[in-house]
A and B are shown apart, each in its own frame.
Chain A
C-alpha cells in the first residue's frame, strides 16, 4: 500500500500481543515492524531446530532449518534469509525463491521494495542475486555489494586475477575490479571499497587504491586523473551527474569533484557527504579541530561541535535544513540547523524530517526506556520497544510504532496529531 494510503486516522490500535508468542514457541527473537506499522514479525523456533517467522501472531506456513536477518522492505513485506537441508535462499512473506545457494547474506531492498538483492556463494563462487536471478558471471570473492536506488542494478568488488597465498607482489599488481550486474570493468586495482550508483542507476563510482600509496575515485571504470593519500565514498550530484568525494591531501581532508577541489576548506576529517535533492547544497560530517565533530554545509562548519561523534546526517526534503544525531560528553543528542537539542539521551536514532521540512522527530532512549522526541521536545509516553517515527504525507500527523509495556507485550500503532504533540 502506498505511503499516502496508510491508515492516518488519529488513534491507537493494538496490532499484536508479542508476549503470547513466547508461550506458543520455543524461542522468539527480537521483533521487527513494517514501515506502515501494520505488521510486527519475529523469527520463532517452533520446535527444536525448526524455524519460521511469526507475523502478527501467525507463523509462516513454510518452516526452515535456520532463519536469520529478518527485515521489512519499504513495501511493508517481510523477507528473511532461510535455509533448508543446508541450502540457503531468500523468503519473502514466507515464500522462498526457487534458486538455492550455499550461502546468502547482505540483503538489500530497492526504494519501493520490489527488488531484493543478496550476496551469494555456491561451490566457492561468488555473485549477487536480484529477485531470484543470479548474475551470470561468478567470482572467487565478492565484497561491498551495492545496489542502485531502485534496486534493479547491483555491483560488487570482485577478484579478477588469481594470486597465491603470501604472494605480496602479485597482489600489488592489482587483482580486483568491480562487477556491475555481473560484468567487470576493464581495469584492475589493488583495492576497491565503497561505491555509489548514480540516481538513475546507470553509472557507478568507487573508492580505489591503485598502488599501496595512491588513492583515487573510479567512475564507470575510469579513474580520476589525480591521486590522493586517501579518499572516502563518492557520491553523484543528483542533477548534473558529476561525482564528488572526500579526498585527503597535504592540508587535510576536503571535497573534490571529478578530481578538482570543490570546497576551499580542509578539515581533519570529512566524510558521509550528501547532496540536497536539488543538488545545490552539500553537507558533510567534518572535524574542524582535533576531537571536535560537526556538520559542514557547503564547506561552512556549524559553530556547535561534539566531542564523541556525529552520525546519521540527513537533509530535509526541501534541501534547506540538515540534521544529525551526535554524541558528546558520553551522551547522545539530536542537532538540526547547527543547534543541538537541549536534551541528552543514552542513545539517539537517525532524525526524521517531515515532508514539509518543518519538523524533526527521532527515536531516543534513556534509562532503558524509549521515547519519541519532536523538535527537541520529548513526548511523555514511554515504550519498552520502539521504532523510528514517520510523518504523514501532509506533515500534520506522526505515526509511532511501539510496545509500551514489556509485561503486556502489546505492540500498538499510534497516530498523533502533530499539533497535539508540539
Chain B
C-alpha cells in the first residue's frame, strides 16, 4: 500500500477556526476554559486525566497513528497531551495558536471511535476527553466551518441538511409515488397515530439518498410492519451538535425526536442505518435530557432487520451472490453490540461472506465518524491518509474474494467511498438495506 506524507495535512486553513480565533484573546480563552473546568470538568474528567500513565498501549489502537507511520502526534494519549493535558496543566492559560492546533487535533485527528479505550489498561474514554476539547472550542467560537454550518442547520430546522418542512414531506410522498410503480399498494404512512414503529432517518436521506427511504418502505411493506414517519421536525435522528460540543442543542434535537415518537403514540423507534445518530439517541442525547436509556424502545436498523428475519417476516427470494465483507460501524458495534445481528442478516441474504480482520468491536474506524467527514473537503485528504490501515484491511478481504463492502452506517459509507477511491480498491459499498431490498420477496406477482 502506498505511503503518503502527513506534513501537508496539519495546519489546514479553516474559516471557522481561523476567524473564530481572530476574536479570541488569551484572557477570554482562560476565562472560558476555567468556567468549563469548574462547571463541567467533574470526577469523570479528573479520573481519566489522573489515571493515564502514558503507557502508550492506546497507540496501536488508533488508525491515525498506524496510518501515519506510528507518528506519536497521532497516538490517542499524544492527542490528549497536545490538548487537554496542557490546558489543565496551564489552568487554561494557553495561547490562541495553541487553541487553533487543539481544535484541529480534536476535530480532525480523532474520530471518537473509542477503539483506544479497549486497549487502555484502565479503559479511559479518550473520546470523552477529545469531546471535552471540542466543548471548549465550541464555547470559544472556533469550530471547523463545515460542521458548524451543519450545527446551525440543526438549530434552525431540526435537521442537518437545511431541509425545509415541506421538502421533507414532499420527498416522502415522491418516494411513495415512485415505490407504487413497483408495488401498487405500498404506502409511506405519514403521521399515523398508534403505529407500532416510528421510523426515523438522518438528514442526508431525503436530501441525497431518498432511495433508502424507498427501500425501507418496501421492506416495511414486505414484512407487514405497522409503521409511520412524522410530518413534523423530529424525523431527523442525526446530531452533529454532539460533535461540535453544543450539548444544549443536542438536548433540544433529541427532545424533538423523542417527542415526535411519543406524540404519535408509537411503541418503538426504528432508526435507519446510521451510526452516529444511534450514539446520539441511545447514549448521549437521552442522558443529557435526564433519561438513563431512551424513553421508548429504540432499535437500530441492524437489530430491526435481524428481528424481521428471526421472526420470518421476510423471505429471501434470491441471495446476493457477489462475495461480501462487513465493515462493523463503531457506534453500533463497539457502542451497541449489534455485530452478530448484522452477521445473521448477512447469512440470510448473502451467499459468501468474508470477514475483515480485525472485526466486530475490534474493527478499525472508517475515519469519517465523530464528525470528521462533516468538517468537510479541507480535511478529506487527511482523513484518507490517516486511514491507510483501513485500505490495507479492505485489500486483504478483497484478496480473499470480497467485492462488496457492507457498511450499515452513513458516515462509514462516505469514509469508505473516499478510501476505496483514493487507494484504488475497486470495491462496491452497500448498505445492508440495499442487499435486503435486492434479495427479498416483495410479494408482487411476476409479470
Residues of A in contact with B (beta carbons under 8 Å apart): 27, 29-30, 48, 66, 68-69, 102-103, 105-106, 119, 121, 126, 141-143, 165-166, 168-169, 171-172, 176, 190-191, 193, 209, 212-213, 215, 229-230, 248, 250, 268-269, 271, 287, 290-291, 293, 307-309, 311, 327, 330, 346-347, 349, 365
B155 close to chain A: CB less than 8 A: yes
Query: Which of B163-203 touch A at CB < 8 Å?
Result: 164-166, 169-170, 173, 184-185, 187, 189-192, 194
B145 close to chain A: CB less than 8 A: yes
Query: Which of B196-222 touch A at CB < 8 Å?
Result: none
Chain B contacts of A230 at CB under 8 A? 248, 251-252
A365→B196 CA distance, assembly (Å) = 12
Known: A27-B185, A105-B165, A308-B295. A287 touches B265 (CB 8 A): no
Give the number of residue pairs across the A-B interface with Cβ within 8 Å: 105
A349→B213 CA distance, assembly (Å) = 29
CB proximity of A418 to chain B, nearest CB, Å: 25
B248, closest chain A residue (CB): A230
B157, closest chain A residue (CB): A143
Given A106-B232, A307-B292, 9 more contacts at CB 8 Å? A48-B184, A68-B231, A119-B166, A141-B156, A168-B148, A193-B252, A209-B155, A309-B296, A327-B295
Query: Which of B244-266 touch A at CB < 8 Å?
Result: 246, 248, 251-252, 255, 262, 265
Q: Are A68 and B173 in contact (CB under 8 A)?
A: yes
Q: Are A105 and B166 in contact (CB under 8 A)?
A: yes
Q: Of the candidates B164, B166, B191, B248, which one forms a contact with A215 in the assembled complex, judged by CB atoms under 8 Å apart? A: B248
B72 close to chain A: CB less than 8 A: no
A330, closest chain B residue (CB): B297
Q: Are A30 and B297 in contact (CB under 8 A)?
A: no
Q: Mark B3-25, 1 if CB is under 8 A from A, else 0.
A: 00000000000011001000000
A141→B165 CA distance, assembly (Å) = 9
B255, closest chain A residue (CB): A271
Q: Are B166 and A103 in contact (CB under 8 A)?
A: yes
Q: List 25 A-B contacts (CB under 8 A).
A: A27-B185, A29-B189, A30-B189, A48-B184, A68-B190, A68-B191, A103-B169, A105-B166, A105-B231, A106-B231, A119-B166, A143-B157, A165-B162, A168-B15, A212-B138, A212-B141, A213-B139, A230-B252, A269-B289, A290-B290, A291-B290, A291-B291, A308-B291, A308-B296, A330-B297
Q: Are A168 and B16 in contact (CB under 8 A)?
A: yes
B353 close to chain A: CB less than 8 A: no
Q: Are B292 and A347 in contact (CB under 8 A)?
A: no
Chain A contacts of B293 at CB under 8 A? 291, 308
Chain A contacts of B157 at CB under 8 A? 141, 143
Q: Are A105 and B169 in contact (CB under 8 A)?
A: yes
CB proximity of A143 to chain B, nearest CB, Å: 7
A308→B295 CA distance, assembly (Å) = 5
CB proximity of B107 to chain A, nearest CB, Å: 14
For the complex of A and B, 4 pairs with smallest distance between CB atoms: A291-B292, A269-B290, A287-B290, A309-B295
CB proximity of B37 to chain A, nearest CB, Å: 14
B81 close to chain A: CB less than 8 A: no
Which residue, B157, B162, B194, B289, has most C-beta atoms of chain A within 10 A? B194
CB proximity of B43 to chain A, nearest CB, Å: 14
A365, closest chain B residue (CB): B194
Q: Are B233 and A143 in contact (CB under 8 A)?
A: yes
B146, closest chain A residue (CB): A166
Determine the interface band of chain B, counting residues with CB < 8 A from chain A. Answer: 35 or more
Q: Are A309 and B190 in contact (CB under 8 A)?
A: no
A308→B262 CA distance, assembly (Å) = 12
B267 close to chain A: CB less than 8 A: yes
Chain B contacts of A171 at CB under 8 A? 149, 152, 156
A117→B162 CA distance, assembly (Å) = 24
Known: A168-B152, A308-B295, A309-B291. A103 touches B170 (CB 8 A): yes
Known: A291-B292, A309-B291. A143 touches B191 (CB 8 A): no
Q: Of the candidates B146, B187, B265, which one forms a contact with A349 in the assembled complex, judged by CB atoms under 8 Å apart? A: B265
A346→B196 CA distance, assembly (Å) = 10
B39 close to chain A: CB less than 8 A: yes
A232, closest chain B residue (CB): B255
A308, closest chain B residue (CB): B295
Chain B contacts of A229 at CB under 8 A? 248
B251, closest chain A residue (CB): A230
Chain B contacts of A248 at CB under 8 A? 248
Chain A contacts of B173 at CB under 8 A? 66, 68
Known: A69-B231, A103-B169. A141 touches B248 (CB 8 A): no
A414→B39 CA distance, assembly (Å) = 58
A102→B184 CA distance, assembly (Å) = 25
Q: Are A293 and B248 in contact (CB under 8 A)?
A: no
A106→B19 CA distance, assembly (Å) = 39
Chain B contacts of A250 at CB under 8 A? 39
A168→B375 CA distance, assembly (Å) = 13
A248→B246 CA distance, assembly (Å) = 15
CB proximity of A78 to chain B, nearest CB, Å: 15
Q: Are A142 and B165 in contact (CB under 8 A)?
A: yes
CB proximity of B103 to chain A, nearest CB, Å: 14
Q: Of the candidates A103, A141, A309, A346, which one forms a contact with B267 in the assembled complex, judged by CB atoms under 8 Å apart? A: A346
Q: Of the candidates A68, A126, A308, A347, which one forms a contact with B194 in the assembled complex, judged by CB atoms under 8 Å apart? A: A347
Q: Mark B39-77, 1 if CB is under 8 A from A, else 0.
A: 100000000000000000000000000000000000000
Chain A contacts of B152 at CB under 8 A? 168, 171-172
Which residue, A171, A172, A349, has most C-beta atoms of chain B within 10 A? A171
A215→B157 CA distance, assembly (Å) = 17
Q: Are A166 and B190 in contact (CB under 8 A)?
A: no
Q: Are A69 and B291 in contact (CB under 8 A)?
A: no
Chain B contacts of A290 at CB under 8 A? 290, 292
Chain B contacts of A142 at CB under 8 A? 165
B138, closest chain A residue (CB): A212
CB proximity of A196 to chain B, nearest CB, Å: 16
